[in-house]
Amino acid sequence: MSTLKEVKVGKTVRVTKLGGEGALKRRIMDMGITKGVEITVRKVAPLGDPIELTVRGYELSIRKADAALIEVEM
């Protein structure tokens, strides 16, 4: 399995597992990133952080550290 951090711009993936514990995992889920949801990577900032995503029809920016906790399948 790969993580959301490793996905290239323009690719669409499906979430298979959320990492993290407690409040961090809850914050990721509150942003709409849950198991089974499709995510498209729209942009990556020039220095690589943050990553802009399309999730459930809206745009979201997350840090690379948070993206590394989200396991995805192509």
The CATH number for 31's domain is: 2.30.30.90
Could you report the per-residue pLDDT of 32-48, keeping only the tens digit for each? 999 999 999 999 998 88
Q: How would you list the strands of the sheet with 58-62, edge to edge?
A: 2-3, 70-73, 12-18, 38-44, 51-55, 58-62
**pTM for the full model?**
0.87
Contact indicator for 7, 41 with CB cutoff of 8 Å = yes
Domain count across the chain? 1
As averages over each run of 10 residues, the pLDDT of the chain (74 residues) reads 90 93 91 93 90 94 93 92
DSSP state of 59: E
Residue 7's domain comprises: 2-73
